[in-house]
Amino acid sequence: MLPDARESCDYVQSLTYGDASLDGHVDLTGYTLKASFYHANVATVDFTLDMAPGGAGEGLTILDGPSRLIGIRILAATLSGIDDTTGDFILQADLLATPPAGERFLLGDLTLRVIKGPTT
């Protein structure tokens, strides 16, 4: 699970995906990533993150391919635009990866708790 997000500010995180000691270690250099976020147990997509253009702006970035270090940035406008009245909800996403010369595959799952309201 990713650290919590507040809908009133941009969400910026980095994470190392997977364990290099495991079989099937993936060097993400040159890969393209995509993640579509949706409410837990609901099939409707709330928003999709593609590769951030030029490594900036909203989206996903590969910060270090051999280390599997991924950057995630979700703008406050995206978070505040999610249709939810509870003020505290969980989003899930399939993190999809496409190698430079290959087919897209499921790299893993992402889970993000979003808390509505101002930061304190």
The domain that contains 24 carries what CATH number? Answer: 2.60.40
Closest CA to 90 of 112, 71, 116, 60: 112
Q: Is residue 16 part of a domain?
A: yes
The answer to whether 101 touches 64, Cβ cutoff 8 Å, is no
Q: Is residue 83 part of a domain?
A: yes
Q: Is residue 120 part of a domain?
A: no
Q: Is the model's pTM score more than 0.75? A: yes
Q: In the prediction, which pLDDT does 56 show?
A: 78
Number of domains in the chain: 1
Mean of all residue pLDDT scores within the chain: 87
Q: In the prediction, which pLDDT does 120 show?
A: 54
| pLDDT confidence band for 12 (50 / 70 / 90) | very high
The residue to which tokens 């890969």 are assigned: 31
User: Which domain, by its residues, includes 61?
Assistant: 5-115
Out of 20-24, 47-51, 102-106, which region has the weakest mean confidence (pLDDT)?
20-24
The answer to whether 35 touches 93, Cβ cutoff 8 Å, is yes
The answer to whether 51 touches 60, Cβ cutoff 8 Å, is yes
Inform me whether the pLDDT recorded for 15 exceeds 70.
Answer: yes
Q: In the prediction, which pLDDT does 19 show?
A: 58
Q: What is the pLDDT of residues 44-78, one digit of tens each?
A: 899 999 999 877 789 999 999 998 899 999 999 99
CB atoms within 10 A of CB 117: 10
Dihedral (CA of 56, 33, 69, 60) sign: positive
Backbone φ and ψ of 53, nearest 5° = -60, 120
| pLDDT confidence band for 92 (50 / 70 / 90) | very high
